[in-house]
Amino acid sequence: MSGKRDKREAIVEAMLDLIVERGFHDAPMSLLAKRSGASPGVIYHYFPSKDELIHAVYQHVVSIKHELFFEGFSEDEPPREALLRIWLNAYRFYRTRRKETRFLDQYLNSPYCKTGAEEEMRSASSESARILQWLQPKKKGGIVKDIPSEAIYGLTLGLAASLAKAPKTFSPVTLKRIAETVWQAIADE
Amino acid sequence: MSGKRDKREAIVEAMLDLIVERGFHDAPMSLLAKRSGASPGVIYHYFPSKDELIHAVYQHVVSIKHELFFEGFSEDEPPREALLRIWLNAYRFYRTRRKETRFLDQYLNSPYCKTGAEEEMRSASSESARILQWLQPKKKGGIVKDIPSEAIYGLTLGLAASLAKAPKTFSPVTLKRIAETVWQAIADE
DNA sequence: CATCTTAGATCGAACGTTCGTTCTAATCGA
DNA sequence: TCGATTAGAACGAACGTTCGATCTAAGATG
């Protein structure tokens, strides 16, 4: 019976579209009302303010990202295979979920995520934190090079992001080759 | 004495600050007038609209970036040294020019740079284009691995960017080590 | 040298519009 | 019928922009 959750989600989804299309500076509530099919009154029934709504959009996007990144992941997979899996998952996310990627790029670099962001930051970093936490013991164990965690992140997921933004589509073979180059770059011999 | 150019530049500089501090959605012309010491009228004397002003801020930032990236660069330096130099330059830019970096992150991911962007796009890509063009013959020559240009960009400058964003400061020794790891990752053995 | 001319720079009040948000009256489900 | 839900008109504030007046300084004219 198309309950209220649906309407809430429709609002979040419409706001996501709006921001991606027109940016934070040009995403008025009036247009959101039109696009989402919910009147201004209803929007303010679900969200106390525009800012809170935008934070909600962020939470929504982050949960999708987290889910897709760790699809099929298991703690006891060999390090190499686990990393290759996450890397390919990340590439797939950045490539297929363009709207979500674009929103994240805008949001994370805007002052929006600095204000009232505490709850968020925990979930924001949760997915990279989870990866890094998993990598930590591998460093001590000499499986992964002892370079800063940020470098590892940049070499792996950062690369996936910048590849996914390229106009070209890469064949599975090419991707596999790149993923292996990535592993070589961070693995300790 | 303190001619007109200064005022124009003061406006651009103040807008840069404003956007970095408060985002595109919360950088009103009224506040810009107060901060820059120029009245609304004068701002519109120098720039036809807010959008054009923002584009001007972008041009300003890009020219700084380009200059710093290629500081000390020479075409006939050996590939390895040239890449290390640019890599360290890039890291230094991202690390010390935080305002400019933050602005670029916001601007490039916003719809601002999609509208009326043609003139811009030429200079936007000019600095990465220059690097890639320089790398191209090295690939054919077997000096650099035959992987997509985007991958090379991600592995080098993308990494520099994500490292520079980390809270930590890295020692020159660490940086040198990372730069060499970068070279290993893209060099063909 | 004193005065006139003129084009650009500067100001800040004011404009019409649009924003985020609220309120009221109608509607719905029980 | 009664409380919850809704649509959309309405609100004050704030927005980007305009405008006519004023200022400044560098020739031009005599």
> Which segments of chain A belong to CATH 1.10.357?
63-186
Rg, Å, chain B Cα set: 19
The series of mean pLDDT values per 10 residues for chain B, 189 residues long, is 76 98 97 97 97 96 94 92 94 96 94 67 65 83 86 88 88 88 84
Give the CATH fold of the A1-47 domain.
Answer: Arc Repressor Mutant, subunit A (1.10.10)
Contact B150 A162 (CB under 8 A): yes
Q: What is the second-level CATH architecture of the domain A63-186?
A: Orthogonal Bundle (1.10)
Cα(B141)–Cα(B149) distance, integer angstroms: 15
Q: Residue A170 gets which letter from DSSP?
A: P
How far apart are the CA of A3 and the nearest CA of chain B, in angstroms? Answer: 33
Contact B23 A24 (CB under 8 A): yes
How far apart are the CA of A174 and the nearest CA of chain B, in angstroms? Answer: 8
Contact A147 B178 (CB under 8 A): yes
Nearest CA in chain A to B24: A25
CA–C1' nearest nucleotide, residue A26: C19
* 78-117 of chain B touching strand D, CB 7 A cut-off: none
Nearest CA in chain B to A51: B25
> Which segments of chain A belong to CATH 1.10.10.60?
1-47
pLDDT for residue B1:
41
Mind listing the pLDDT tens digit of every residue in chain A (189 residues)? 445 678 999 999 999 999 999 999 999 999 999 999 999 999 999 999 999 999 999 999 999 999 999 999 998 899 899 999 999 999 999 999 999 999 999 999 999 987 655 555 555 566 777 887 788 888 888 898 888 888 888 889 999 998 998 888 889 998 988 888 888 888 886
* Protein-contacted positions of strand D (CB under 7 Å): 5-10, 14-21
Residue-wise pLDDT tens digits, B147-176: 888 888 888 999 999 899 888 888 999 898
How far apart are the CA of B72 and the nearest CA of chain A, in angstroms? Answer: 25
CA-nearest of A7, A54, A62, A52 to A27 is A54
- Residue by residue, DSSP assigns B54-71 as HHHHHHHHHHHHHHHHTT
Quick one: residue A7, left, alpha or beta (phi over 0 = left, psi -120 to 50 = alpha)?
alpha
Buried residues in A59-98 as b, exposed as e (16+ CB within 10 A): ebbbeebbebbeeeeeeeeebeebbbbbbbbbbbbbbebe
User: Percent of chain B at pLDDT above 70?
Assistant: 91
Residue-wise pLDDT tens digits, B104-123: 999 999 999 876 555 555 55
* Protein-contacted positions of strand C (CB under 7 Å): 8-14, 18-24
* Residue A60: both structure tokens together: 């929504």
